[in-house]
Amino acid sequence: MAAIASLLTAVAVSIAQVSATIQNPAIQPRPPMGFNNWARFMCNLNETLFTKTADAMVSTGLLAAGYDNINLDDCWLLKERNSKKELQWDPDLFPHGMPWLADYLHTRGFKFGIYENAGNMTCGWYPGSQDHEEIDSKTFESWGVDYLKLDGCHMDLQKGRSYYEEFEYRYKLWHKIMGDLKKPFIFSQSAPAYFSPNFHLDKNNTDWYRTMDWVHNNGELARHSDDIKVYGLNITFEPGGHWESMMNNYGMEVRLARYQSCGFYNDPDFLIPDWPDLSMDEKKTHFSLWSSFSAPLIISAYIPDLTKEDIEYLTNKEIIAVDQDALCEQATLVSQGEYIDVLTKNLANGDRLLTVLNRGNHTSTTEVSLHRMGFINVGAYTAKDLWTGGTKKFHESLEVKLRTHQTAIYRIRPTEGVKLEVTPTGMIFNTFSLNCLAASHHSSSVTFAACDAADSQIWRVWDNGRVTPLSAVQQCLTVYDGEVSLEECERGPPKSQQWSYGVTGNLVNKGKGLCLEEGKKSVVVKKCGNALDSQVLALPGGVKLDK
Ligand SMILES: *[C@@H]1O[C@H](CO)[C@@H](O)[C@H](O)[C@H]1NC(C)=O
Ligand SMILES: *[C@@H]1O[C@H](CO)[C@@H](O)[C@H](O)[C@H]1NC(C)=O
Ligand SMILES: *[C@@H]1O[C@H](CO)[C@@H](O)[C@H](O)[C@H]1NC(C)=O
Ligand SMILES: *[C@@H]1O[C@H](CO)[C@@H](O)[C@H](O)[C@H]1NC(C)=O
Ligand SMILES: *[C@@H]1O[C@H](CO)[C@@H](O)[C@H](O)[C@H]1NC(C)=O
């Protein structure tokens, strides 16, 4: 849930780092799974909903499959704090109280999540935590809370801070306070959503990137962009826009892979399995994509009424294992054509994940080559289809046929005798303009162009810092005399042909430390700025070459 606020200017803040998050992956070693009421019920929540949900999650096997967080969203509280300035639950909605509910959930093996707001009111106009961070953290601790989703509505700008600075100050304050609790809460941060592209259509992405730059050191997950479109007001289903909402959040997530590693997860929001206007293929696509991202799997639905078919796909062991894989990698785009998206990532046992999505309105067939999957060596490989369980042997390329809005998800591995060697391979794209870096067919020049899935737009990023297009394997992305071009790869490689990439999203040439930039007409290198739209890129593998 989210809202829009205004901008002022001001001074910088800095709060000492305490250990948590990617510095302490033990808090949330794998992406969280569970339930949240928001997208399905919004403010129509009560104790019975949560106890029935918990019971159903036990009896359907969802808990056993790993969905072990039960999280409340907004509107659980009274409009006033008590005389001690503490938050109070609404006793009409929660007659037994929060400690009782926490105990009910803990007894059954769940963690208990609650919702609050970094600003002075929640998005639903209940008391917010701004200037009450300490007391609220103690209250939640005394109730048995394990998980906090902290939203960002109604931020009151204090001490001359800008809107951005107030967010940074409040979220870092919460992080610090949680470090002093007996056990820190799992911290879900909504901060980046308030700076995401759809929130500020008139603005650049700089503050979005800057927020993402600190949330991964500050909590376990971050809601980076839009809410998934809700079921409807007053729990009356309003059809339309749900597939588009899912695709929108998918399109935001693919821009941010570089931030994710075990301990911190990019959060594209809830799974919505009981929306009547989503086909089974669309629901399975949602689950396949989120799992390929190793994203949080938080279901918003009326669990007791889920069909057997819904439970079956939500508890698919092989796909959950991809989500919960020990590398915690977020799959990245190999290619994006008119209808078909291809994504890959490494899995802990050495398998390569291949995920193929048909965004189009008709059945489509595509071929994905071994090179596009990131394999260096040719030979025989096997593909295990994680939806059907079937295994297929192939050479050179795998043919994939998909119905409209269907997604296939495979584990690929070489057969005996073929050496496993993988290099991150895929699109290099500007995460503001969404244009792809492209090698020219006839000259040594490179450009940014609309993504079209051609070989000339697919790049390999080597351990030694080389970047080479799939269409010209001996050609290296080079900076020579201040110009960017493709030149014969030289031994060494020389610094002019070495690049580094990290959470800043900048692709930095090692020669003079300049950043690759999408210019108006050409690709250039310039002095690196602070999270500039023209310089922030997504790379295959989300690779952190400079780690
Ligand atoms: C609790 O909430 C659910 C979902 O909104 C609703 O169907 C149910 O009637 C409510 N129960 C009570 C006791 O208020
Ligand atoms: C919250 O902050 C806003 C903006 O500064 C202010 O107008 C409002 O009075 C504050 N509300 C509360 C409950 O403190
Ligand atoms: C981008 O936005 C930031 C923050 O709002 C602003 O300071 C900066 O000047 C903007 N940059 C450009 C190039 O417009
Ligand atoms: C939803 O319920 C509220 C309060 O009960 C009512 O004012 C509003 O008109 C309802 N909205 C719809 C779309 O039914
Ligand atoms: C599919 O059809 C819808 C509705 O006509 C249209 O809005 C959308 O652009 C189409 N999608 C593609 C990828 O062609």
Ligand 3: residue of 6, 165, 166, 204 to mutate (most ligand atoms within 8 A of CB) is 204
Which residues touch 323 (CB under 8 Å, ≥6 apart)? 30, 31, 33, 290, 291, 294, 295, 297
* CB of 130 closer than 8 Å to CB of 119: yes
pLDDT, tens digit (0-9, with 9 covering 90-100), for 400-436: 999 999 999 999 999 999 999 999 999 999 999 999 9
pLDDT value at residue 58: 98
Residue 247 clears pLDDT 90, i.e. is over it: yes
pLDDT value at residue 362: 98
pLDDT, tens digit (0-9, with 9 covering 90-100), for 196-242: 999 988 889 999 999 999 999 999 999 999 999 999 998 999 999 99
Beta-bridge partners for 399: 367
Q: How far apart are CA 286 and CA 3, in angstroms?
A: 25
Residue 10 clears pLDDT 60, i.e. is over it: no
pLDDT bracket for residue 193 (50, 70, 90): very high
Distance from the Cα of residue 453 to its chain's centroid: 23
pLDDT value at residue 146: 97
Which of 25-34, 87-96, 344-353 is the least confident region? 25-34
Q: How far apart are CA 537 and CA 464, in angstroms?
A: 19
* CB of 11 closer than 8 Å to CB of 160: yes
Say if 278-422 and 425-538 have the same CATH topology. no
pLDDT bracket for residue 8 (50, 70, 90): very low
Domain boundaries, the chain: 2-14+35-269, 278-422, 425-538
Q: Which residues are catalytic?
A: 151, 213
Which residues touch 358 (CB under 8 Å, ≥6 apart)? 339, 340, 364, 402, 403, 404, 405, 406, 407
pLDDT value at residue 1: 43
Span 351-358, mean pLDDT?
A: 98
pLDDT, tens digit (0-9, with 9 covering 90-100), for 495-518: 999 999 999 999 999 999 999 999
The percent of residues in the chain predicted with pLDDT above 90, rounded, is: 91
- For the Cβ of 162 lying below 6 angstroms from any atom of ligand 3, the answer is no
- For the Cβ of 207 lying below 6 angstroms from any atom of ligand 3, the answer is yes
pLDDT, tens digit (0-9, with 9 covering 90-100), for 15-52: 233 344 566 788 899 999 999 999 999 999 999 999 99
Go through the chain and tell me how many residues it has.
547
Ligand 1: residue of 35, 40, 49 to mutate (most ligand atoms within 8 A of CB) is 49
Residue 13 clears pLDDT 70, i.e. is over it: no
CATH C-level class of 278-422: mainly beta
User: How many of the other CB atoms lie within 10 Å of CB of 408?
Assistant: 23
Q: How far apart are CA 267 and CA 225, in angstroms?
A: 8
Residue 3 clears pLDDT 70, i.e. is over it: no
Lining residues, ligand 2, CB within 6 Å: 120-121, 154, 156
Q: How far apart are CA 255 and CA 205, in angstroms?
A: 11
Q: What is the mean pLDDT of the chain?
A: 94
**CATH fold for the domain made of 425-538:** Trefoil (Acidic Fibroblast Growth Factor, subunit A) (2.80.10)
pLDDT, tens digit (0-9, with 9 covering 90-100), for 56-70: 999 999 999 999 999
Q: Which two tokens stand for residue 114?
A: 């609650």
Residue 250 clears pLDDT 80, i.e. is over it: yes
pLDDT, tens digit (0-9, with 9 covering 90-100), for 260-308: 999 999 999 999 999 999 999 999 999 999 999 999 999 999 999 999 9
pLDDT bracket for residue 442 (50, 70, 90): confident
pLDDT bracket for residue 473 (50, 70, 90): confident
pLDDT value at residue 14: 28
pLDDT value at residue 545: 53
Across the beta sheet with 352-358, what order do the strands follow?
332-336, 340-346, 352-358, 407-414, 380-385, 391-395
Nearest CA to ligand 5 atom 10: 361
CATH architecture of 2-14+35-269: Alpha-Beta Barrel (3.20)
Q: How far apart are CA 143 and CA 258, in angstroms?
A: 36
Helices marked H in 180-279 — which ranges?
A: 206-215, 242-253
User: How many of the other CB atoms lie within 10 Å of CB of 533?
Assistant: 18
* CB of 528 closer than 8 Å to CB of 496: no
* CB of 158 closer than 8 Å to CB of 128: no
- For the Cβ of 42 lying below 6 angstroms from any atom of ligand 1, the answer is no
Distance 131 CA to ligand 2 centre (A): 12
Q: How far apart are CA 533 and CA 430, in angstroms?
A: 8
Q: Which two tokens stand for residue 492?
A: 């060494």
